[in-house]
Amino acid sequence: MSYNNIITTKENSLGMITINRPTKLNALNNETILELHTAFTDFEEDPEVRVIMITGNGEKAFVAGADIAEFASYSKEEGEALAAKGHRILFDFVEGLKTPVIAAVNGFALGGGLELAMACHMRVASDSARMGLPEVSLGVIPGYGGTQRLPNLVGKGRAMEMIMTGGMIGTEQALMWGLINHMVAQEELLPFCKKIAERIAKNSPVAIGKALEVINAGFKYGVDGYKAEIEGFGYCFGTEDFKEGTTAFLEKRKADFPGK
């Protein structure tokens, strides 16, 4: 499928998404969000794709926020609808995928860009990347999950400081705070992420999908994460992946999992 604002490719078991609006620093507008939803859906439904990776075009920006010109004149009701739609079709949607998503943060990840990275299951950043939620400088708050996901990742106090100052942090601080998993040189970013993807792809896609579901359950209000784990653990026993994995272990060979 051809897109106006993103590029998609597939390398064996890896589905690759590149946000391609370099003149706009890869800012998210409505069309880009819709295209991302379609691309993520296609890769989620592709039985050959075991891992999805997302990055921005160029070395300057992953996503430098939302396209402000598109919503500057919105009313209260339109603003609320914008956030709700974004959660539904992209940010919550990505977090809920059963195919793991790695964000390769190649530059500025600001506002909606950082929120997109935080919705992914893992984050790897180049050593020159910068991250922040500057929305309060525009008279608004983060609306795509930033006020909820950032405290889960870095703690309440640090999240409050980042959101209230609207400032940016560098990759070293992001690594120290737990906002990203790894920091690498710019030229190593994509190869490093692909190595992680290769390691993931060797394992059971059914078990990985269930693990993502159960981990996310533990962060939902009113959900007993331990109960979800027990049920997920039992579920795996009834799958072909479990039969193949345990048989391969007993036969001292590598498992050949049938797919998601």
- Supply the DSSP string of 7-76, one letter for each residue: EEEEETTEEEEEE--GGGTT-B-HHHHHHHHHHHHHHHH-TT--EEEEEESSSSEEE--B-HHHHTT--H
The active-site residue, picked from 35, 44, 95, 135, is: 135
The active-site residue, picked from 115, 172, 244, 251, is: 115
Task: Look at the block and give the residue holding tokens 């919105």.
Answer: 74
Rounded Cα gap, residues 36 and 122, in angstroms: 17
- Output DSSP code: residue 239: S
- Supply the DSSP string of 95-127, one letter for each residue: HT-SS-EEEEE-SEEETHHHHHHHHSSEEEEET
Task: Please count the residues of the chain.
Answer: 260
202 φ, ψ (degrees, to nearest 5): -75, -15
In the residue annotation, 135 being an active-site residue is answered as: yes
At 111, list the tokens: 């506002």
- Supply the DSSP string of 180-211, one letter for each residue: -SEEE-GGGHHHHHHHHHHHHHTS-HHHHHHH
Just list the catalytic residues. Answer: 115, 135
